Structure formats: structure tokens, C-alpha cells
Structure 1
């Protein structure tokens, strides 16, 4: 569904990604794990069109997308739930969700999308008139996911969805991601520091270190790899 080939990304003279290559199969959850500063968010931002790589190629359903504006990439069906949620705090919950439906691919199904989001997150329906900035952290994460779903994506990239949440809410977020994949058929790229939880969920996974892919395999294989357990799980 998505192919990343030999991506190099620089911020000035500092190289953030070096020769990164990976493939994302349709209908699967693929995890990208690594420590802080490994380049995980840079990779997501490059796929989304927010950053422009110096070298390499990104194709979505066989169509080159690197270098295209982010709104065009969104309209192809690639959605992003950004790190830190990035909701509009002064807008209401409903207004935030409506922003997500402005993509041409999503406009005609706005009402159906809103019903689906409120079905998935009843708490958002209860608070639809409330300013988004007054929601709890977990509710804001629900809103960020709901806003992405309003754009009718076929592939969703989650960037640190558990960040800043309580253990109970972290578990809930992972259940939601699994449900979106299994019941809604969405392809998922999951970028997470919670290595154990993401590898348990993922069918395929990549390990990113200092801007390079250093390991890949099934989620189960990496979860049971002694090097991964020692480096990221303290086992």
C-alpha cells in the first residue's frame, strides 16, 4: 500500500533520516519503534508531506507522493494523528471534527462520518459543544483520532498516541487502534515509545535508531528478540 525507499531527510546540516526503506501492507498494523530522537516523528512527517526529503522515493498505491503538499497527500487517503494531539483548543469539539471533513474526499460523507465518530467515542458526542481545550488528555486524544477519521482515511499514521496518558487510557487507546484496524479495515502505522504494547499489536515492525532502520520482522519476532528486550524493555 505504501512504500518508502531510501529516504534521506535533513534539518539544515543535521541528518534526521538516512536511507530509510520500509513497506506498509494494506490492512495491517505496522509498528515503528525506537528511542526519543531516533527519527520516528520525522519519518511520519515526511510521509505526510510536512517535510521534504533530500533523496528517496515514497509511493502510495503505486503513485509517487514525495514532495507533494500535505493536503494533497491527505486527500489521497493518508491520515495522521499527530504527536501532542494538535487540536484547536478554542474551537468546540464539533468544530474540530468538522475541520477534518473539509477534504474533497470526505465532504459528501460528513454526516455519516460524524455519526461513526460519535459511535466510536460517545464521550465526544456528550461534549460536542464544549471547547476542545477544556477536555481531559484522553478526551483530546479521542478528538484527534476522530478528526482524522472525518477525513475518511484508508491509512492512519499514529504518532505517539499514548503520550501523556494514564496506564488505563493507554490500554484504551491501543484497543481503539486495534478496533479501527480489525473492524473498520484501516491500515495503521503506529509510532510508539511503548515498545512492548506496540509490538504485541503489530503484524510487522521496524526498529529505528539514529535515523536508520536497524531491525525489522514480525511484531512477535521483535518482541521476543533479546536485543530489543534489553534495549527497550529493560529485560
Structure 2
């Protein structure tokens, strides 16, 4: 803008110089003066527009600077948030590790407790020989029972013999057990033999034959004769 003003002033100076040399040209001078004034006015208007543009540019610069400050503030907040999240995540992970280690410790303790309980519950039954091959000691089981007084199914076998079948299926044996039996009752024990003579033992039943002519015809049951037994065998 200073350059434009300089050109206008130079033109004015030239016109004034020309007016001194030729006075008859006064009308041309006035026209030139009017033109200069008109151009000066335009220059002032342009100057005003330039100043206004500068003002707007300065406002834009201020706005940009403010935006930069906001962006930097956001960046700072983001970094702070990252640090906070990282710390919280690390704390959560550490807490999770502690809980896992605590669970591991409890599991190990539970294992030890279970091992001790299993050891305390170790089967005390030992089978040293039997009808079939020996199995794991933990599978050995003792089972006992009675055919029940006056409820034992005695059947006639011959003129002098009777027999009954004793059910041991509830014991759950999977092999032939070793069975010991005796006769229990209330009358005429001196008239029979064979109460410990076990016949045809299986995993679910066995038979006993008695020599007793007085026990036939249901008399044995009336006298309360029943078989009491103990069996040792494997259940697995």
C-alpha cells in the first residue's frame, strides 16, 4: 500500500510541475487532480479492506492458536488417561495373579487333605487267597447278613436232608467270595449237622444242606433256624 501511495504522490508532483510550465493547461490540471483524488479514495478503500483482512487473519491466527492449545490439552488428557488405564490394568492383572496363586494354594491344600483322608480310609480288608485271582486291595469288601429267623426258605432235599439258598447279591461281589456260615435258631440244634458246609458259592448266592430228619416239612423254619454268614470278596 505504501508503494501505491508513492505512485499517487509522484503523479501529483508531475502534474504540478507541468502546470507551472504551461498555465494554459489549467483545465487539464483540474481533471488530473480529480483523477488523483479519485484514485486516492480508492486507495483508502483498499487500505481499509486490507486492514480488515489483516484483522480477520489475526483473529484466525488467534483461533488457530486456541485450537492448538485445546489439541495439546486433549493430548495431555489422553496421555494421562493412558497412564491411568495402564496402572489400573496392571493392578487388575496383579490382583488376578494373586487370586490365581491363592486358588492354586487352596487346590494343593485340598489335594493334601484328600490324600490324607484317602490314606486314613485305606481298606483294612486283605484277601490272601480265594477261588479266583487276587485283585486290588481297595476292592476287597466284608459283607455279612442273615437269612432271617422264621423267614428262611428251607426245602426238603431227601428223607433226612433239607437245604436253603442264601442271597448275598446286595454285597455287590464281582468274584466268588470266601463265605463262613453258622446256624442260628431256638430248638433242636443237636439233631442237625452241616451248618458250615457251604455248597455252590457264587457272587450272588450260596447253598447250605443240613442233615436233620426233624427239620423237614417246614419244621426247621418253625424252630427259627436261619443262616448267619460273613463273606469276603472283591467288588471291583
Bin for the TM-score computed over the shorter chain? under 0.3
Query: Greater CA radius of gyration, 1 or 2?
Result: 2
Structure number with higher strand proportion: 1
Relative to the length of structure 2, the TM-score reads 0.18
Structure number with higher helix proportion: 2
Relative to the length of structure 1, the TM-score reads 0.19
